[in-house]
Amino acid sequence: MFKNIIAPVQAWLLAQGRCVGCGTPLTKGKREKRKDGTEKVTCKCGRIFIFNPKTKKYRRALFEEV
């Protein structure tokens, strides 16, 4: 039940380009270019996201991408 409340908030934060954990804009994160053209963004709180420059969208990094 708790998850159902959190998920839309996290989706909204990601849509704003902000970290789902601390709300910091991910433009301030540490960026690393990846082979597939996307960027790995590490937030100051340690959460890792993948930025796709084509869609200009962020998503949570998968376990194997970390």
| Residue 51 CB neighbour total at 10 angstroms | 19
Residues engaged in binding Zn ion (CB under 5 A) = 19, 21-22, 24, 43, 45, 47
Q: How far is CA 31 from CA 3, 8, 21, 44, 59, in A?
A: 28, 25, 17, 11, 14
Which residue has the closest beta carbon to Zn ion? 19
CB of 39 to Zn ion, least distance (A): 16
| Nearer to Zn ion among residue 7 and residue 22 (C-beta) | 22
Residue number, 36 or 63, with CB nearest to Zn ion: 63
